[in-house]
Amino acid sequence: MFYLNIKRERQSVATTVFFLLFVSLFTFLMLHSGEILAQKGTPVQDNKESLGEQQKVSENDIKEISDFLPLEITPEGLFTLKKAGNIPFVLIDADQLTFIPERDDRIRRIYYTPRISTRAAKNAVLQDRRRQRNRADHTIQPSQRLTGTPTEWEQFDIEELKVIPKKPLLVTPKELSEAIKDEVDLQIIDLRPPEKPALASTSAFKSDPQKSAGYPFPKALSLMPHQIESALPEISKKRWLIIIDDGHHEAQIIADQLFQQKFMLIGILDGGYPAWVTATDR
């Protein structure tokens, strides 16, 4: 009996020693596997470099890429994306959307708005990304909003973005309000006469008495119709130009004249300043 107990104890010790050796060997291999592979000629890739290959990427890594991808893409970035041809994408006019349709996960959605307000495109991108985060599968292509204006897009010769207006656009108070709040790079001309003509600025581009505290268009140019021509060198054709009047249609006349002079991005505040004051949805 005593002999059997000693034999069992020796077997137990041997088993324990073998187990410890196995664990030690396994730990060593795990810690130095990268070095072993490198010595054999197998390249050891940094995790971030291999993500673009979509090979055995963890869910957290995919989510990190989605969060890292900017919410916006420039016209130059879009052109580069199209030229590379390795990421399929679709261009969507967000102003024409009544709901966000189901998406093909493999295709990146790029939203744009051919009018002055970018709110619809921004909302569409945020809804897409929110829906992506709520799903278990984070491998879908993140959406983006295209920056710039139709005249900037035109130079890249992308068929879907040939959306320069055929005439001056009527802009609602709500649309103008959204553009101002979203800090769209607007040019605004206020055709209304100054409240105090005797104090009016001698230069069209200096501050005007009516642009006091509470005036909603602090960067607007106060110009009378006869001053427009001399002010043209100061106005860009690549930025939206919004013309505001007192509701008597002077803005429409000026906008038509400027449109004939190749100022293609022109908006007219529908109803003029009185409509802005009485609007309840801005």
Cα–Cα dist 251/44, whole Å: 65
Predicted local confidence at residue 24, as pLDDT: 61
Q: Give per-residue burial for 211-233: e unless 16+ CB within 10 Å, then b.
A: beeeebbeebbbbeeeebeeeee
C-alpha triplet 275, 279, 281: angle, nearest 5°: 145
Tokens of 204: 């069209």
Cα–Cα dist 37/30, whole Å: 11
User: 144-146 and 108-112: which strand pairing?
Assistant: parallel
CA–CA distance from 79 to each of 84, 157, 252 (Å)? 9, 9, 35
C-alpha triplet 251, 191, 248: angle, nearest 5°: 50
Tokens 């139709």 belong to residue: 150
Q: Are 117 and 127 in contact (CB under 8 A)?
A: no
Tokens of 197: 């003509």
Tokens of 218: 């602090």
Residues 6 or more apart whose Cβ sits within 8 Å of residue 132: 66, 138, 140, 142
Q: Give per-residue burial for 169-182: e unless 16+ CB within 10 Å, then b.
A: bebbbebbbbbbee
Which helix (H) or strand (E) covers residue 274, if one does?
Answer: helix 272-278
Q: Are 143 and 124 in contact (CB under 8 A)?
A: yes
Predicted local confidence at residue 132, as pLDDT: 75
Tokens of 207: 């501050």
Predicted local confidence at residue 19, as pLDDT: 60
Instruction: Please report, in tens digits, the pLDDT of each residue of the chain (282 residues total).
Output: 444 344 455 556 556 656 666 556 555 444 444 333 333 333 333 333 322 333 333 444 434 445 568 999 999 999 999 999 988 999 999 999 876 666 677 889 999 999 999 999 999 999 888 877 766 555 678 899 999 999 999 999 999 999 999 999 999 999 999 999 999 999 999 999 876 443 334 344 334 445 555 788 978 999 999 999 999 999 999 999 999 999 999 999 999 999 999 999 999 999 999 999 999 988
**Phi-psi bin for 100: left (phi > 0), alpha (psi -120 to 50), beta?**
beta
Q: Are 54 and 86 in contact (CB under 8 A)?
A: no
Give the global pTM.
0.69
Tokens of 279: 């609007």
